[in-house]
Amino acid sequence: MEACVKEPFLPGWFTLDAQAPHLIGTRCAACGTYYFPKETRYCRNPDCQSTDFEQVLLSRTGRLWSYTDAAYPPPPPFVAPDPYRPFAIAAVELEKEKMIVLGPVADGVGVEALRVGMAMALTLEPLADGKLTWKWRPA
């Protein structure tokens, strides 16, 4: 069990530090724009032609911009647990990066526990097939 929960559903998208995980992004070396998922080919700022990026760990805390839940099982490639359990979904605004990042909310935290503006932190949990994903939880 321990071995299988350590496998991320996508390698290289987030660190596997169980206590303080980070999403892994990139930052344009010329204009400072952050990217998640990682951009390594071309900067999308129309005033920047840089192809030079550094890999960065994104802020692991932010403010809840908005939230919802998935009351019905999403279609594949989502692997729905049986029986299905609705889960909350968060959009979290990162201050330094000035971007909003989506993600599921940690198991057991429903929409009734969420408020726009509250502090959120990144966490790791397995999806129904045992692969790890990033999730958000109240900080």
Partner 1 sequence: MNREIAILGVGLHPWGKWGRNFVEYGLKAARDALADAGVDWRSVPFVSGAATMRCGYPGYVAGATFAQALGWQGAEVNTSYAACASGAQALAAARAKILSGACEVALVVGADTTPKGFLAPQPGERPDDPDWVRFRIGLTNPTYFALYARRRMALYGDTPEDFAAVKIKNAAHGAENPNARYRRRFTREEVAASPMVADPLRLLDVCATSDGGAALVVSSLAYARKIGKTNAPRIVAISTVTPTFPNALVEMPDLATDSAAAREAQPFRAALPRKAYEEAGIGPEDVDVAEVYDLSTALELDWIEDLQLCARGAAAKLTREGATRIGGRIPVNPSGGLACFGEAVPAQALAQVCELVWQLRGQAGARQVQNAKVGITANQGLFGHGSSVIVKR
What number of residues does the chain have?
A: 139
Task: Report the residue number, 52 or 98, with the smaller CB distance to partner 1.
Answer: 98
Distance in Å, CB of 21 to partner 1, minimum: 15
Q: How far is the CB of 9 from partner 1 (least distance, A)?
A: 6
Residues 78-107 interacting with partner 1 (rule: CB under 8 A): 78, 87-89, 91, 96-104
Q: Quote the CA–CA distance of 95 and 20 in Å, as a whole number.
A: 18
Q: Which stretches of the chain are assigned E, i.e. beta strand?
A: 24-28, 34-35, 53-57, 61-70, 87-94, 99-104, 119-126, 132-138
**Cα separation, 58 vs 56, whole angstroms:** 6
Residue 15 touching partner 1 (CB under 8 A): no
Residues that bind partner 1 (CB under 8 A): 9-10, 28, 31-37, 44-48, 65-72, 74-78, 87-89, 91, 96-104, 111, 116-117, 127, 133
